[in-house]
Amino acid sequence: MDEMEKAAAGLLYDANHDPGLVEKRRAAKRLLFELNGLHPDEEMRRHVLFRRLLGRTGEAFTFDGAFHCDYGFNIEIGENFYANVNLVILDGAKVTIGRNCFIAPNVGIYTAGHPLDAEQRAMGLEYARPVTIGDDVWIGAGVSILPGATIGAGSVIAAGSVVRGDVPPNVICAGNPARVIREITESDRARYR
């Protein structure tokens, strides 16, 4: 089992010294360097590069400003995806984001974690757990989504929250750690009319 297979299986793997993984990250960094340096009017070129970088995209998607990731190929985004500035996705494991998702500025989605044992950390070992975000989710500014988190369709994650574990569909979730505040109801649809 190579290091990428270990990562996909949720086992400890050597992300820092394995030549294959190091080169995969370098390849992503090369694309990101070009992407993050493009003029805003070069939208077509941005789309071409994002399609080369990411594992899957919809037809319509927007990344405003800088974006950073580890590998890119582990990231799948659905149709009508929108990310504001400074999105960071550490994608040692699969990150799946549904359609019609909005991500506010300064959000971090992290699949990577490190052992509690200092000796294992010093060896450069880490683990990765997939993150899944359902359709029609809004992630507020400054949110951190931790390894293994799942966010149900239609939910809203309030600014500054730290998400771990599972968030059910159609709820407002807030805090550190994030917890369900309330369900999103029909009255929320009428709120802005």
* Statement: residue 191 has pLDDT above 90: no
Distance CA 183, CA 193 (A): 19
Per-residue pLDDT tens over the stretch 118-175? 999 999 899 999 999 999 999 999 999 999 999 999 999 999 999 999 999 999 999 9
* Statement: residue 193 has pLDDT above 80: no
Distance CA 30, CA 24 (A): 10
Burial category of 8 from C-beta neighbours within 10 Å (exposed 0-12, middle 13-18, buried 19 and up): middle
| pTM as predicted | 0.95
* Statement: residue 54 has pLDDT above 90: yes
Bridge-partner residues for 32, per DSSP? none
How would CATH label the architecture of 3-190?
A: 3 Solenoid (2.160)
* Statement: residue 84 has pLDDT above 90: yes
pLDDT at 8: 87
Is residue 114 annotated as a catalytic residue, yes or no? yes
Where is average pLDDT lowest: 26-35, 104-113, 117-126, 166-175? 117-126
Choice among 39, 47, 68, 114 that is catalytic: 114
Distance CA 88, CA 42 (A): 22
CA separation, residue 45 to residues 39, 82, 141 (Å): 10, 17, 27
Distance CA 51, CA 48 (A): 5
Average pLDDT over residues 83-89: 97
Average pLDDT over residues 32-38: 96
pLDDT at 147: 97
